[in-house]
A and B are shown apart, each in its own frame.
Chain A
Amino acid sequence: MAITTKAAATPLGQRLRQDGLPVLVVLTAILLLWYGLTVWLNAPGVIERVLPADGAWAWQQLVAATMDMQRPVMPAPHQVAADLYSSLTGHPLNSPRNLLFHVAVTAQSTLVGFVMGTVLGLVLSVCIVHSRTLDRALLPWIVASQSVPVLAIAPIVLVILGSMGLAGVAPKAVIAMYLCFFPVTVAMVQGLRSPQVIETEMLHTYAASRWQALWMLRLPAALPFLFPALRVGIAAGLVGAMVAELPTGAQAGLGARLLTGSYYGQTVQIWSALVMAALLGLVLTAAMAAIENLALRHRRQA
């Protein structure tokens, strides 16, 4: 929501004034709740292991101790923030101890897969719109795949590509690709069909070829359908890239970071990786929204 372009500046300003305070209040409540949970969840462990066994401790000591554990059940927000800060500033960018390194690894496979999936989806949707056979034979399967957990075949893709000798970015990008591909195809078929009969007939009277009709009428008309699908697609691609990092024993990437954190009980590390994954998701989607604003800026004014 924090996307600023010149065209959207005024409504954003209004929105900030209107929604800024409530959002801030809710965020503060979440933060307080988090601290509450930290105390509540960590207290049993602290009482058992850290505080003097004879019961001679005040509640202040208890609260302080819950927020300063090595491997807490629930790390306090400031512990996660400190871990993030030391990870981001304490190590060079190419060191695996720097979280930005892992973010870059995951973002790279997400973006590569996203671009491939989008191109594939665009090409296929153009084919479907121009071929009745493909429309009737193939489209129902693509639509049906939306209700199926396609992410489940990720391990299969990894095994197949692994036995073909592909490793590194390629398998992760392929998984991100096919997750992006489905929503883009479905939305683009809908969008390419959105021009009304009167518009297609006008191009027909101009003796426009199919390609001209596609280029001048159908593609521009499909853009408002495309962008929401791209936002869905890039978020799905991120999940795909992270899941793809799990079974390979990958050394790098946010998914691998989550897995090693859970192996070694490093809760703070898991939470930092989660925060970075959330931020990456937000940034990727915000970038898509910014491109959307830029591409459709003339229509908004009309």
Chain B
Amino acid sequence: MSRTPRSAASTALLVLAPLVLAGLFLAAPMASGQEPVGATFWLATLALAALAVAGIRRLAGLEGRKIYASLTAALFGIWVVYFWQLLTVALEVPRVLLPAPWLIVQSLVDHLPRLGKDFTQTVVKAVIIGWVLGSGLGFLVAVAIDRLPFLQRGLLPIASLTSTIPLVGVAPIAVMWFGFDWPSKAAVVVLMTFFPMLVSTLAGLQASNRLERELMHSYGASYGRTLWSLRLPVAVPFMIGALKINATLALIGAIVAEFFGSPTSGLGFRISTEATKMNMPLVWAAVLVAAVTGSVAYALLVALERRAAFWHPSVRGKK
């Protein structure tokens, strides 16, 4: 447990030097698939792996700044992609099994216009519209039945149970009702995002404590005023939590709904058709687009949370 503190400079050397070596090694003939792999290749690869592990361990052991943790994760990611590239090329792994990362990037660049169209079809139309409509409806219904405890007690158990049901299965029905284009996908997304928002908003509206409500009462505040000034602000972190869950759910819903039938564009359509054509680099590229979309949406919502719920303990603690 009593490790001597390591300096940041020596760590930087241990982290960066292997990366440079690894970059040079990638250009060597035996690593680029021009020669059959021999003992030298394996020795060099093992040495690199040992260096990579040493570098990651050293970086993970650093104390002090928060950035070190993110750097460790990034370094680990870089090494995983590096060995993925190295081994798939040197061992000539069939593309169907696992395309090299560089091939995926190339495919992404080559098919950028097509993937852009897919992105518009799936994300801009189906996901965003469905997500806004579903979350908005969930919120409105929650506020509407706020004064009807009878309906709440009836609706809440059913709404909570829907999280255990594979709702995305309604996709074929949505296709039948709304056609192959994006409205059917948006409908699936609406259904999937409605209930989490409803449940979270209802929970959020109950979250203000008795003392606060009695204070509002003593001010003679009306129901609407209490809702607006106390209970809705208290519910904001709950609602943003639901928006985060819904962002992932919406992407999954739209992509899976396209597996059931879609026009000739869309990320889910691209993934399923190119997979049957065994064009795996493009499939991975489409997955990459979906993954980046999900992460960016999440990051945006976290930023929104910091702004809208800046007073909440969970946000205050992070600063």
Closest-CB distance, A87 to chain B (whole angstroms): 17
Q: Which of A273, A282, A284 contacts B169 (CB 8 A)?
A: A273
Query: Does B291 make an interface contact (CB < 8 A)?
Result: yes
Q: Which A residue sits closest to B261, measured CB to CB? A: A262
Question: By the criterion CB–CB under 8 Å, are A152 and B255 in contact?
Answer: yes
Query: Which residues of chain A from 52 to 107 have any CB-CB distance to chain B below 8 Å in the complex?
Result: 73
Measured CA separation A273–B168 after assembly (Å): 12
Closest-CB distance, B144 to chain A (whole angstroms): 14
Query: Does A158 make an interface contact (CB < 8 A)?
Result: yes
What B residues does A137 contact at CB under 8 A? Answer: 56, 60, 72-73, 75-76
What A residues does B259 contact at CB under 8 A? Answer: 155, 243, 246-247
Closest-CB distance, B159 to chain A (whole angstroms): 10
Measured CA separation A54–B295 after assembly (Å): 59
Stretch of B203-211, B221-229, B276-284 that contacts chain A: B276-284
Closest-CB distance, B7 to chain A (whole angstroms): 18
Query: Does A25 make an interface contact (CB < 8 A)?
Result: yes
What B residues does A152 contact at CB under 8 A? Answer: 251-252, 255, 267-268, 271, 286-287, 290-291
Q: Which B residue sits closest to A254, measured CB to CB? A: B169
Question: By the criterion CB–CB under 8 Å, are B248 and A148 in contact?
Answer: yes
Stretch of A43-51, A113-121, A139-147, A213-221 that contacts chain B: A139-147
Query: Does B170 make an interface contact (CB < 8 A)?
Result: yes
Q: Which B residue sits closest to A25, measured CB to CB? A: B154
Closest-CB distance, B314 to chain A (whole angstroms): 14
Known: A261-B172, A262-B176. A136 touches B73 (CB 8 A): yes
Known: A140-B69, A258-B172, A284-B164. A149 touches B157 (CB 8 A): no
Question: By the criterion CB–CB under 8 Å, are A259 and B260 in contact?
Answer: yes
Query: Does A239 make an interface contact (CB < 8 A)?
Result: yes
Known: A242-B166, A282-B165. A140 touches B280 (CB 8 A): no
Number of A-B pairs whose CB atoms are under 8 Å? 179
Measured CA separation A271–B297 after assembly (Å): 33
Known: A151-B255, A239-B166, A258-B172. A282 touches B161 (CB 8 A): yes
Measured CA separation A238–B165 after assembly (Å): 9
Measured CA separation A265–B176 after assembly (Å): 8
Question: By the criterion CB–CB under 8 Å, are B161 and A144 in contact?
Answer: no
Return the CB mask of B143-183 against A: 1 if under 8 Å, else 0.
00000001111110110110111101111110111000000
Question: By the criterion CB–CB under 8 Å, are B287 and A262 in contact?
Answer: no
Stretch of A6-14, A15-23, A193-201 that contacts chain B: A15-23
Q: Which B residue sits closest to A30, measured CB to CB? A: B158
Question: By the criterion CB–CB under 8 Å, are A148 and B166 in contact?
Answer: no
Measured CA separation A158–B271 after assembly (Å): 12
Query: Does A191 make an interface contact (CB < 8 A)?
Result: no
Query: DSSP class of B's interface residues: helix, strand, loop or mixed?
Result: helix
Question: By the criterion CB–CB under 8 Å, are B157 and A23 in contact?
Answer: yes
Measured CA separation A1–B155 after assembly (Å): 13
Query: Does A274 make an interface contact (CB < 8 A)?
Result: yes
Query: Does B256 make an interface contact (CB < 8 A)?
Result: yes
Question: By the criterion CB–CB under 8 Å, are A140 and B165 in contact?
Answer: no
Question: By the criterion CB–CB under 8 Å, are B297 and A246 in contact?
Answer: no
What A residues does B297 contact at CB under 8 A? Answer: 147
Query: Does A160 make an interface contact (CB < 8 A)?
Result: yes
Measured CA separation A1–B154 after assembly (Å): 12
Query: Which residues of chain A from 257 to 281 have any CB-CB distance to chain B below 8 Å in the complex?
Result: 258-259, 261-262, 265, 267, 270-271, 273-274, 277-278, 281
Query: Does A138 make an interface contact (CB < 8 A)?
Result: yes
What B residues does A247 contact at CB under 8 A? Answer: 259, 272, 275-276
Query: Which residues of chain B from 103 to 162 have any CB-CB distance to chain A below 8 Å in the complex?
Result: 150-155, 157-158, 160-161
Return the CB mask of B287-304 against A: 1 if under 8 Å, else 0.
100110011011000000
Question: By the criterion CB–CB under 8 Å, are B96 and A149 in contact?
Answer: no
Question: By the criterion CB–CB under 8 Å, are A267 and B272 in contact?
Answer: no
Known: A23-B153, A26-B155. A133 touches B56 (CB 8 A): yes
Question: By the criterion CB–CB under 8 Å, are B161 and A159 in contact?
Answer: no
Known: A141-B73, A243-B256, A259-B260. A282 touches B271 (CB 8 A): no
Query: Does B61 make an interface contact (CB < 8 A)?
Result: yes
Q: Which of B72, B97, B287 contacts A136 (CB 8 A)?
A: B72
Query: Does A156 make an interface contact (CB < 8 A)?
Result: yes
Known: A160-B98, A239-B166, A262-B261. A147 touches B295 (CB 8 A): yes
28 residue pairs A–B, Cβ–Cβ below 8 Å: A22-B152, A26-B155, A27-B154, A132-B61, A137-B72, A139-B73, A144-B295, A149-B255, A149-B294, A153-B287, A155-B259, A155-B275, A155-B283, A158-B275, A159-B283, A160-B97, A235-B165, A242-B166, A247-B275, A255-B169, A258-B172, A259-B172, A259-B260, A267-B176, A274-B169, A277-B169, A278-B165, A282-B161
7 smallest beta-carbon distances between A and B, as pairs = A22-B154, A262-B172, A26-B154, A137-B76, A147-B298, A155-B275, A140-B73
Where the two chains meet, the residues of A that have a C-beta atom closer than 8 Å to any C-beta of B are 1, 18-19, 21-27, 41, 73, 132-133, 135-141, 144, 146-149, 151-153, 155-156, 158-160, 163-164, 231-232, 235, 238-239, 242-243, 246-247, 254-255, 258-259, 261-262, 265, 267, 270-271, 273-274, 277-278, 281-282, 284-285
| Further 15 A-B residue pairs, CB within 8 A, beyond A158-B275, A159-B278 | A23-B157, A27-B158, A41-B177, A132-B61, A138-B73, A138-B76, A139-B73, A153-B287, A159-B275, A235-B165, A239-B256, A255-B169, A258-B169, A258-B171, A282-B161
Where the two chains meet, the residues of B that have a C-beta atom closer than 8 Å to any C-beta of A are 56-57, 59-61, 68-70, 72-73, 75-77, 94, 96-98, 150-155, 157-158, 160-161, 163-166, 168-173, 175-177, 244, 247-248, 251-252, 255-256, 259-261, 267-268, 271-272, 275-276, 278, 280, 283-284, 286-287, 290-291, 294-295, 297-298
